Amino acid sequence: KAGVTQTPRYLIKTRGQQVTLSCSPISGHRSVSWYQQTPGQGLQFLFEYFSETQRNKGNFPGRFSGRQFSNSRSEMNVSTLELGDSALYLCASSLVTGSGANVLTFGAGSRLTVL
Amino acid sequence: SQKIEQNSEALNIQEGKTATLTCNYTNYSPAYLQWYRQDPGRGPVFLLLIRENEKEKRKERLKVTFDTTLKQSLFHITASQPADSATYLCALHSSNTGKLIFGQGTTLQVKP
């Protein structure tokens, strides 16, 4: 079955612009999580959506937002881009087990460069 | 504050040896802990999950231990191969927040 698909894979923006990243989860997975990965900070949790509702949120400013659609596809948006937003943005979907364990399947990521 | 610590320095070992990676945590009460592998330019891939009431888990050449008293997990790769070279990440599920939080990862280099 198809894995987690993220688009676009690479993009370059300038400071002040905004960007929207898309994630299509594995079919049947209802939970989608987003992470930001940078060399200095590692993988930082952004937010998690389940059945169109934000279930959890990390410690990022309000410029970072997301949403999930009824088909479980998710988007994240970053407004007023800053140089420090340059990172690999990873989306992961999961099928929460009956015992509550949340095993993530990641996409290949969207590499954002802010100039 | 809550912390997850993995060796930031790369681990270099010879092919055939056992690689041991460490994950320490503070101020967490994880219900379970996971290990992922990440290759350059790709997303992390799930390897193993171990629950708080389990001491050890094995999968082929991989073994994970979980000591909730020491607040530490060890990840072992036996008979290591150059193809095992990658960055390995541990992740904790926080019972308090429900979030899955990752460590910074340790890069393993297996030399032939």
Distance between CA B105 and CA B107 in Å, rounded?
7
Residue A4 has pLDDT above 80, yes or no: yes
Extended strands (E) in B1-112 = 3-6, 11-14, 19-26, 30-38, 45-51, 56-59, 62-67, 72-77, 86-94, 100-102, 106-111
Q: Which of A9, A2, A50, A6 is nearest to A26 (CA)?
A: A2
Which residues, listed in sequence order, are joined to residue B30 by a DSSP beta bridge? B94
Q: What is the largest CA-CA distance in chain A?
A: 45
Q: Which of A79, A90, A80 is nearest to A22 (CA)?
A: A90
Question: Which pLDDT score, from 0 to 100, does residue B31 have?
Answer: 81
Q: Which of A61, A83, A74, A71 is nearest to A107 (CA)?
A: A74
Residue B19 has pLDDT above 90, yes or no: yes
Residue range A32-60, pLDDT digits in tens: 999 999 988 889 999 999 999 998 899 99
pLDDT tier for residue A100 given thresholds of 50, 70 and 90: low
Residues near B38 by beta carbon (within 8 Å), at least 6 away in sequence: B44, B45, B86, B87, B88, B89, B105
Inter-chain contact A101–B44, Cβ cutoff 8 Å?
A: no
Q: Which residue of A has its CA nearest to B99?
A: A56
Residue range B64-78, pLDDT digits in tens: 999 989 999 999 999
Within an 8 Å CB–CB cutoff, is residue B10 touching chain A? Answer: no
Long-range residue pairs from B74-78, CB within 8 A, at least 24 positions apart, any chain = B74/B20, B74/B21, B74/B22, B74/B23, B75/B20, B75/B21, B75/B22, B75/B23, B75/B35, B75/B48, B76/B18, B76/B19, B76/B20, B76/B21, B77/B18, B77/B19, B77/B108, B78/B18
Alpha-carbon gap: A64 to the closest alpha carbon of chain B (Å)? 17
Residue B23 has pLDDT above 70, yes or no: yes
Torsion, CA B30, CA B33, CA B38, CA B42, rounded to 10: -70
Inter-chain contact B102–A55, Cβ cutoff 8 Å?
A: no
